[in-house]
Amino acid sequence: MTGEDGRTHPCAAGARIDPDDETLVVCKLSDALPRGAYVVSWRVTSADTHVVHGVFSFGVGVAVNGPSAEVASIYDPSGALATVLRWLVLAGIIAVAGASVFEMFVAPGPLAPTLRTWGILTALAAGLLALDVQAAAASGTDLVRALPDLPRIVAGSTWGIAWLVRTFALISIGAFGRTRAALGLVLAGVALLTISVSGHAVANGLTSQTILPLVADWIHLAAAAIWAGGLMTFVGGPRTRESIARFSSLAIGSVAAIAVTGTYASILHVASLQALGGSLYGRIVLAKIALLLVLISFGYRHFRQGRREAARWSFGVTIVWETAVVVVVIGLSAVLTGLAPPFPYQGG
């Protein structure tokens, strides 16, 4: 809180959550405020790891013209930088998990080891920068001044602990994944779980009431990884009738799981049909649904190809297009994760 004279008025005992209302932050001052106008800037990290902040003005014995303008930070979770980093982390983990499933249950592919290595390196590099961005967003500073806060973010927040577990899982996959495929697959599942723990599924914290949303979100990500990662592996082959048929069985199950868990998440986080069409969050959900239908049409074509001798050129072209659509869907998921769900719906 800053007065007209530029003097800062800190909280006497630090800011704290109101024990009677967890949506309120209480800041008790040690002295009475003199006459004048004041600006309050607040910033909190919510249970689902989103950094929320704002600015408002008030006056003591004087009228204020209106709320103060707030300058958006480039490090905000809904900003472009954080979104791109989430996109890369998610795409990397999906590539790792999908390639592992493909090798174990479909066919050894020449692209799978390369894809897994790319996924590990991409997720680790983007994740390291994302840690600094999260610290900058939480502290309201920048990437350089936030560096001293990195240990506190890692050890003292759900986001940081999930980041630490994910980093360990990815490094372990790189070290043991080639020789112990089952272990690599389990660790890929753990890495996906850390994404769920850092998202909307734990909006009320990690409690017994969030177990079902958390499990549903993890199943949604795992199914998407099996499908999307498998498609990425298919780009480099093998394109035989047997491999297409085998992957089609996995893809059908994955699509069913994606549809069920996606519907559940939409009902959970989008309170009404009005919010679905009237909020940015809801419109992105609709865009994902539309692209899912496109992907299903591609998948049906490939399923039919798997039941006869595959046309190599035709299959190669459509699999590239389907993979491109998947990359866009992953990007939309990254955007969605950075947005607050429209509940309660307030329009806009």
Mean pLDDT of the 104-122 span: 85
pLDDT of res. 192: 94
Other Cβ atoms within 10 Å of 201 Cβ, number: 24
- Determine what percent of the chain is predicted with pLDDT higher than 90: 25
pLDDT of res. 89: 95
pLDDT of res. 305: 64
SS3 23: strand
178 confidence band (pLDDT: 50, 70, 90): low
pLDDT of res. 315: 67
Lateral strand order in the sheet of 51-60: 2-3, 36-45, 51-60
Higher pLDDT, 237 or 334: 334
Biggest CA pair distance of the chain: 83
347 confidence band (pLDDT: 50, 70, 90): very low
Indicate whether 52 pLDDT > 80. Answer: no
Q: How far is CA 82 from CA 191, 208, 319, in A?
A: 19, 29, 29
Token pair of 307 as six digits: 């039941």
Token pair of 297 as six digits: 């049409």
The residues pairing with 109 across neighbouring beta strands, listed in sequence order, are: none
Whether the Cβ atoms of residue 233 and residue 109 lie closer than 8 Å to each other: yes
Give the DSSP letter string of 288-305.
Answer: HHHHHHHHHHHHHHHHHH
- Half-sphere exposure of residue 71, counting CA atoms within 13 Å on the CB side? 4
207 confidence band (pLDDT: 50, 70, 90): low
Higher pLDDT, 167 or 116: 167
Q: How far is CA 198 from CA 54, 204, 206, 338, in A?
A: 22, 12, 10, 11
Identity (one letter) of the amino acid at 300?
A: Y
pLDDT of res. 346: 41
Other Cβ atoms within 10 Å of 97 Cβ, number: 28
Other Cβ atoms within 10 Å of 319 Cβ, number: 22
SS3 100: helix
87 confidence band (pLDDT: 50, 70, 90): very high
pLDDT of res. 328: 92
What integer best gives the mean pLDDT of the chain? 82
Give the DSSP letter string of 49-99.
Answer: S-EEEEEEEEEESS---SPPP-PPPTTSTTSHHHHHHHHHHHHHHHHHHHH
Question: CA–CA separation, 223 vs 38, rounded Å?
Answer: 51
Question: CA–CA separation, 122 vs 185, rounded Å?
Answer: 18
pLDDT of res. 48: 57
pLDDT of res. 230: 83
